[in-house]
Amino acid sequence: MEIGTYKGKVNDFESFVEYLNVMAIIISEMFGNRCEVVISDIDNPDQAIMSIYNGHVTGRKIGDPLATKSEELIERSIGGYNVNYKKTNKKLKKEIKSSTIVTNAFGKNISFCINYDCDEFVELQSSLKRFLSMGSEGYQEFETYDNGELVEQKLMAEVEKMGKSIVSMNKNDRINLIRNLKNVGVFKIQKSVPYIAEQLGVSRYTIYNYLNEIEKEEK
């Protein structure tokens, strides 16, 4: 059916079918050849398919029977529709996502079904999962960050390891945090002391005092 057949009004069953066909053409064209759209006469299950677009998705054609028993199809679409369900068919061996709407129009039960072949996306999803899989050990190259971002990341990492929020830390906790930051080389980074002091809510002189205490302990 040509898309120009529809005249913009639905007055009888024939014009209703024309309207459905236009919608089917638009949907199948918009979403491409992986998107199949099927209009079926549920009251005539043995030769149900009235129109089908991109029928290669399921390998069906006009005049083919319903893939599902008409009573079951109506039951599945309680409320008039069934959205985003998986179409299972052992012969197809495809991942097909479907949505179906069933309506009674001019005394006939008609279904409008969209089937999308998701095989390509399932493979892409699998490839992305494999690509994004990483080991548990983190590694950062210092050169890839500016100084401020690196100090921030290191501080947050050490705070997380301690299992305490900064605001809940006492003096001993803060000294331990400074010790850990010193061990990972944070204080070799320019302007790290003012940033750490600000985040801990102390003066930079306090940070220097902590560092002096730590050095004395180490000696």
pLDDT tens track for 109-121: 999 999 999 888 8
Q: Are residues 14 and 100 in the same domain?
A: yes
From CA 187, how far away is CA 210, in angstroms rounded? 12
From CA 51, how far away is CA 34, in angstroms rounded? 17
Whether residue 189 contacts residue 147, with contact meaning beta carbons closer than 8 Å, is answered with yes
Q: What is the pLDDT of residue 62?
A: 95
Q: Are residues 17 and 111 in the same domain?
A: yes
Distance, C-alpha 165 to centroid of its chain: 32
- Give me the number of domains the chain comprises: 2
Residue 44 lies in a domain: yes
Here the CATH number for the domain that contains residue 86 is 3.30.450.20
Last residue of a domain, one of 91, 121, 151: 121
Q: Are residues 35 and 82 in the same domain?
A: yes
Instruction: Determine the structural domain holding residue 199 and report its residue range.
Output: 142-218
Whether residue 37 contacts residue 52, with contact meaning beta carbons closer than 8 Å, is answered with yes
Q: Are residues 81 and 161 in the same domain?
A: no
Buried b (16+ CB within 10 A) or exposed e, 45-64: beebbbbbbbbebbebeeeb
Mean pLDDT by 10 residues, the chain (219 residues): 68 91 94 95 91 94 84 67 73 81 91 91 78 60 57 87 82 93 90 88 90 87
